[in-house]
Amino acid sequence: MVVEIFPPYPPELSQTQLSYLLQALTDYSLSHGLTVRPAESFISEKLSPNGALATHAPITLFPSPFPRSCWEAGRAVQKDYNELYARVAGNAEWLKKTMVELSKVDDFTARLYKVHLDVKAEGFVQPLSLGLFRSDYMLHMAAPEGPKTPPVVHQVEFNTIASSFGALSTRVSELHRHLAKMGAYPPDSIIKPENIPVSPALQGLAKGLSVAHKAYGNGGDGRSTAILMIIQPGEKNVFDQRWLEYELLEKHSVQTYRISLADVPKLTDLASSTQALIYSPPHAPNTQIEISTVYFRAGYGPGDYSGEDDWAARTTLERSKAIKCPSVITQLAGAKKIQQVLAMDGIVEGFLADKGVSSQVRGTFAAIHPLDKSPAGIAARKLALEKPDTYVLKPQREGGGNNIYRGDIPGFLKSIPESHWSGYILMELIEPPSLENTIIRNGGLMSGGVVGELGVYGAILWKDGEGEERGKGLKEIVMNEEVGWLLRTKGRESDEGGVAAGFGSVDAVLLVD
């Protein structure tokens, strides 16, 4: 069921208004780096020698209305989320039970966890960890049958690795604000520049990286230091990453290099005495750069590891003295299963001692249940079989797999052995309000019902215990900030009852009271 809470939206445009808006939007995007490399299906790489072409990122024609209170709520809780996940990641002892269990159903988790254990056995040499997190929320109509109930934000997932679109979130909010300012939207519409805040995610994420870089200190043997970004070969979302490099160089005088996991063994080495990560750029092979911070924009899914060499590369990076953004254990803390465990009674409260804080964090949780043989799991199994209409069944695997919705849940569960049920979690379906918008992608327009996901970015640098103390809880938070937000807007498929489907776009919030 879809609830109306926003004024009629978007404004209707004449053909002339649409063409004016479209031209202004396209030109602004293409000149301000709100861009991606065209998909192979749009423009073949053969037509674009040396990557000479860019197209605007998939974007919405209008900023999407978003309740101001919900935007504030999501932002208000981000520093606490940063701390929560830093504390989880810093407590490998606590994570152990879940990781061992999860490893049984998910090879990717098993493999990652092995990297952590292998390096742990050798001893970690770097006490600092950097997290550039993004907590994703949807608007939820807590009582969809009563449209007067104000919406709240419920968390969809928490990203601890490769949180993307930060720079593009800054650019798209600047775009929509500019379009409002220049009068490209009908003057009698609710779209006013002052209600389109500019997301500072580009600046904030770069600041997080620069704080880590500076905390690392000087390189050994007079080496200069730099950040190493681990990227996917052929990345189309390259400008979102490049903006961070530009900001780091221009504002913080920090140099960044980009390499793929496959290039790690060829181009890096560990200094034998300090385990400093030494990078020799292929364009200046006689130069030795000491890497202060490894920033992963790849390595988050099984598809990024094509073989043993890539796993060895990940292990080398984890073993090094460089600050990892994120460390393997921090990446693992972002598992869906952890999200479910944190939702259990008393767990968040154990990590965040302040009752007010933990209750605010818990207030953004969607109901999420195990399907194992614990008492909570057995209760959830009953729900899944008998009252599945407001639930989605999600595999615990990080590598993906299809979600099962509502009435399909009982049949699906009965079709697989009961021993496999614990490989899934049962999550309350989030019921977003009704909204329409137009998404532009590759120059083509698609209009209709949409759902938005608010992502709030956080940057946190913390110090873990050293030696025997490592893995027993974090020691010190060096920096902790909320650094901006993103709205990702996707086509709504009514069959999936509010779960985002169709292709996605970056969008700005239009705050409504």
Active site residues: 134, 157, 159, 164, 336, 394, 398-399, 488
Q: Which of 3, 6, 10, 35 binds its own copies (CB under 8 A)?
A: 35
Report residue 103 CA to chain centroid gap. Answer: 22
The pair of structure tokens assigned to 443 is 């120059």
Was 382 annotated as part of a binding site? no
Asked if 467 is part of the footprint of its own copies (rule: CB under 8 A), the reply reads no
Was 218 annotated as part of a binding site? no
Q: Yes or no: say if 126 and 292 are a contact pair by the CB < 8 Å rule.
A: no
Q: Which of 12, 121, 145, 187 binds its own copies (CB under 8 A)?
A: 187
For its own copies, the binding residues in 227-266 under the rule CB under 8 A are: 238-239, 242-243, 246, 249-250, 255
Nearer to its own copies, 48 or 403 (CB): 48
3-state secondary structure 252-268: HCCCEEEECHHHHHHHE
The count of chain residues that interact with its own copies, using the rule CB under 8 A, is 53
Asked if 38 is part of the footprint of its own copies (rule: CB under 8 A), the reply reads yes
Residue 32: CB minimum distance to its own copies, A: 6
Q: Yes or no: say if 507 and 438 are a contact pair by the CB < 8 Å rule.
A: no
Asked if 419 is part of the footprint of its own copies (rule: CB under 8 A), the reply reads no
Residue 430: CB minimum distance to its own copies, A: 32
For 30, 45, 163, 334, 387, the CA distances from 136, given in Å and listed in that order, are 27, 33, 10, 12, 26
**E strand or H helix that includes residue 62:** none
The pair of structure tokens assigned to 270 is 């560990």
Q: Kindly provide the b/e burial profile for residues 383-400, where b requires at least 16 CB atoms within 10 angstroms of the residue's own CB.
A: bbeeebeebbbbbbbbee
Residue 419: CB minimum distance to its own copies, A: 50
In the chain, the N- to C-terminal Cα span, in Å, equals 23
Of the ranges 200-208, 348-356, 440-448, 458-466, which one interacts with its own copies (CB under 8 A)? 440-448
Q: Which of 2, 26, 69, 262 binds its own copies (CB under 8 A)?
A: 26
Was 190 annotated as part of a binding site? no
Please give the angle made by the CA atoms of 231, 236 and 239, to the nearest 5 degrees.
80
Partner residues linked to 277 by β-bridges: 270
Q: Which of 2, 9, 39, 53 binds its own copies (CB under 8 A)?
A: 53
Asked if 48 is part of the footprint of its own copies (rule: CB under 8 A), the reply reads yes
Asked if 207 is part of the footprint of its own copies (rule: CB under 8 A), the reply reads no
Alpha carbon dihedral 198, 199, 200, 202, in 10-degree steps, equals: -120
Q: Yes or no: say if 224 and 252 are a contact pair by the CB < 8 Å rule.
A: no
Residue 210: CB minimum distance to its own copies, A: 15
Nearer to its own copies, 43 or 501 (CB): 43
Count the neighbouring beta carbons within 10 Å of the beta carbon of residue 51: 12
Peptide linkage before 67 cis (omega within 30 of 0)? no
Was 394 annotated as part of a binding site? yes
Q: Kindly provide the b/e burial profile for residues 412-450, where b requires at least 16 CB atoms within 10 angstroms of the residue's own CB.
A: ebeeeeeeebbbbbbbbbbbbbbbebbbbbeeeebeeeb
Nearer to its own copies, 249 or 379 (CB): 249
Backbone angles phi, psi at 224, to 5 degrees: -85, 160
Nearer to its own copies, 33 or 204 (CB): 33
Was 297 annotated as part of a binding site? yes
Was 157 annotated as part of a binding site? yes
Assign 170 to helix, strand or coil.
Answer: helix
Residue 472: CB minimum distance to its own copies, A: 41
For 186, 363, 454, 473, the CA distances from 484, given in Å and listed in that order, are 28, 20, 10, 27
For its own copies, the binding residues in 274-293 under the rule CB under 8 A are: 281-285
Assign 163 to helix, strand or coil.
Answer: coil
Asked if 183 is part of the footprint of its own copies (rule: CB under 8 A), the reply reads yes
**Residue in this structure with the two tokens 């920033």, named with its chain if needed:** 295
Q: Which of 12, 41, 49, 417 binds its own copies (CB under 8 A)?
A: 49
The pair of structure tokens assigned to 398 is 């990080």
Peptide linkage before 10 cis (omega within 30 of 0)? yes
Q: Yes or no: say if 324 and 317 are a contact pair by the CB < 8 Å rule.
A: yes
Asked if 107 is part of the footprint of its own copies (rule: CB under 8 A), the reply reads no
Assign 91 to helix, strand or coil.
Answer: coil
Was 407 annotated as part of a binding site? no
Q: Which of 99, 229, 440, 456 binds its own copies (CB under 8 A)?
A: 440
In the shown chain, the binding pattern of residues 442 to 461 toward its own copies, with x for contact by CB under 8 A and - for none, equals xxxx----------------
Was 398 annotated as part of a binding site? yes
Nearer to its own copies, 289 or 335 (CB): 289
Q: Which of 3, 54, 361, 425 binds its own copies (CB under 8 A)?
A: 54
For 74, 82, 368, the CA distances from 339, given in Å and listed in that order, are 17, 14, 8
Was 340 annotated as part of a binding site? no
Was 443 annotated as part of a binding site? no
Residue 295: CB minimum distance to its own copies, A: 16
Q: Which of 76, 182, 344, 416 binds its own copies (CB under 8 A)?
A: 182
Residues making up the annotated binding site for ATP are 157, 336, 394-403, 405, 427-430, 453, 490, 496
Residues making up the annotated binding site for substrate are 134, 161-164, 235-237, 241, 297-300, 488, 499-500
Residues making up the annotated binding site are 134, 157, 159, 161-164, 235-237, 241, 297-300, 336, 394-403, 405, 427-430, 453, 488, 490, 496, 499-500
Binding site for its own copies (CB under 8 A): 14, 16-17, 19-23, 26-28, 30-33, 35, 38, 43, 47-56, 178, 181-184, 186-187, 238-239, 242-243, 246, 249-250, 255, 281-285, 440, 442-445
